[in-house]
Structure 1
Amino acid sequence: MRKPFVTVVVIFLLGLAIGLVVNQQRTTRSAPAEKAVVKAEPDVQAEDLELVQGSDGKELWRIRAKTAQYSLDQRIVQVIRPQLSAYVGADREEVFIKSDTGEVNQSGNTLTLRDNIAGRYGDFALTSDVFDYIGAMKKAYFKGRVIITRPDFTVNATTVEINMETRELTAAGGVAAELIPSSLKTLNKEKKQ
């Protein structure tokens, strides 16, 4: 069911691009002295969109959004209420993040989510103001009022960098960590059993 839909969308985008090129060439020939008009409307709009990014036959991430707008000039998809599922490590553990708005650049394998970021990764829960993923570097950045919690500790910072390959986490800017002793005792009891 998805292949026919994807084929229709690709044909539509190709037709739209060809039409824009032909229209642009006609406009420049007939009225070279006119100023370029900045478009306020996106080239393509969609509801209930799903974008998938993969490499070497494996899905790297999938983003679902309530609405999306695509600009041919910028080649960026603006998304409203995105939900991101990414898969990291050899065990392909899922990271889930949702926000109010975002931008996706599939050709650059980057994405930015903004406003009311909330997510989870295993036992970790997190919140922040901005989330940036840079695929070429295999790094994720959480910025502004970052809070990462797990049953046995909480970390607050203004910026957190996560290396998606090594799973190394680096916090910076007003870092405060709190261990929760009662949870540590509970975790030790669970490990002994």
Structure 2
Amino acid sequence: MKRRPALISLLILSIGLAVGMAVKRMYFTDPESSVQQADQTNKTQQELIDESSIKAEDIELVQGQQGALSWKLLATSAKYNQGQGLVGVERPQLTAFYGEDRKEVYVRGDRGIVDQRKDNLTLYENVGGRFGDMELEAKEMEYLGSAEMVYLKGGVTVRRPDMTLTADTVEINLATRQMLAAGNVVALLASNNLEGTPFKE
């Protein structure tokens, strides 16, 4: 019997806390800040960059880990959204280094977006580049530095001395050099015995 008053008191306290929290949310949260946060979440990266007032010409961005350079990017102009860590670039040229032997990837495009916080880069329009003995062309390329992955999208062409491959999308693991193609895949293999092959150096 002595426990009942204690249980009733706990029940009243719990109900009071719940009502208090509901009242606080309804009357004391700033609706403008909630709307601003929702707006920031719903905006695309390009929209966030377009709002930025920080601009620069002829820039070089670098990213590194543990004292080693991961990548560097040259661009003719840039817009920087400091709050989101996003940089919109024009005429970007990316040189990335990966693996213990510091192999190099070079890619260029008409424009791009750099997400410094996630160590990601996306290049758009007339994307082209090279990775070892491979030449790459696509409408869009996404480079994930931390995962050492490259994703090519839209009218992708990959050329190697022994093969030309076209596809809608191509995924390349830079560490293992494995390539996965999907969508309208066509591969043209070149024989090393053919004297006139355009793939021979």
* Partner of residue 96, structure 2: 86
- Residue 174 of structure 1 deviates from its aligned partner by 1.1
Deviation at 1:75, TM superposition (A): 2.1
Kindly provide the amino acid, as one letter, of the partner of residue 186 in structure 2. A
- Tell me the CA shift for residue 123 of structure 1: 1.7
Q: What's 1:174 paired with?
A: 184
Check the 8 A contact 2:98/2:148 in 1, yes or no. Answer: no
Could you tell me which residue of structure 2 aligns to residue 146 of structure 1?
Answer: 156
Structure 2: which 5+ runs fail to align? 1-31, 37-46, 196-201
Amino acid at match of 1:166: T
Percent of aligned pairs with the same amino acid: 42
| Alignment TM-score, normalising by the size of structure 1 | 0.72
- Structure 2 SS opposite 1:90: coil
Partner of 2:87: 77
The alpha carbon displacement at 1:162 in A equals: 1.2
- 1:185 matched to 2:193? The reply is yes
Aligned counterparts of 2:182 and 2:83: Cα–Cα separation in 1: 36
Name the count of aligned residue pairs: 151
Where in structure 1 are there 5+ consecutive unaligned residues? 1-31, 188-193
Provide the rounded CA distance (Å) in 1 between the counterparts of 2:66 and 2:190. Answer: 42
Q: How does 1:51-62 map to 2 (within 5 A)?
A: 51-62=61-72
AA of the residue aligned to 2:153 = K
User: 2:3: which partner in 1?
Assistant: none
| 1:116 to 2:126 alignment | yes
Computed over aligned residues only, the root mean square deviation of the Cα atoms, in angstroms, reads: 2.2
State the alpha-carbon separation in 2 of the partners of residues 53 and 41 from structure 1: 24
Report the Cα offset of residue 164 of structure 1: 2.2
Matched AA of 1:112: T
User: Structure 1 residues 85, 186: closer, same or farther in 2, change over 3 A?
Assistant: farther
TM-score by length of 2: 0.69
Q: How many angstroms does 1:186 deviate by? A: 6.4
Task: Say which SS state the counterpart of residue 118 (structure 2) adopts.
Answer: coil
What is the rounded CA distance, in whole Å, between the counterparts of 1:185 and 1:173 in structure 2?
30
Q: Secondary structure in 2 aligned to 1:185?
A: coil
Q: Deviation per CA, 1:3-34, whole angstroms, max 9, x where unpaired?
A: xxxxxxxxxxxxxxxxxxxxxxxxxxxxx8xx
For 1:128 and 1:172, locate their aligned partners in 2 and report how far apart those are by CA, in whole Å: 14
Classify the secondary structure of the residue corresponding to 2:193.
helix
- Following superposition, which runs of at least 4 residues in structure 1 exceed 3 angstroms of deviation? 38-41
Shift of 1:56: 1.5
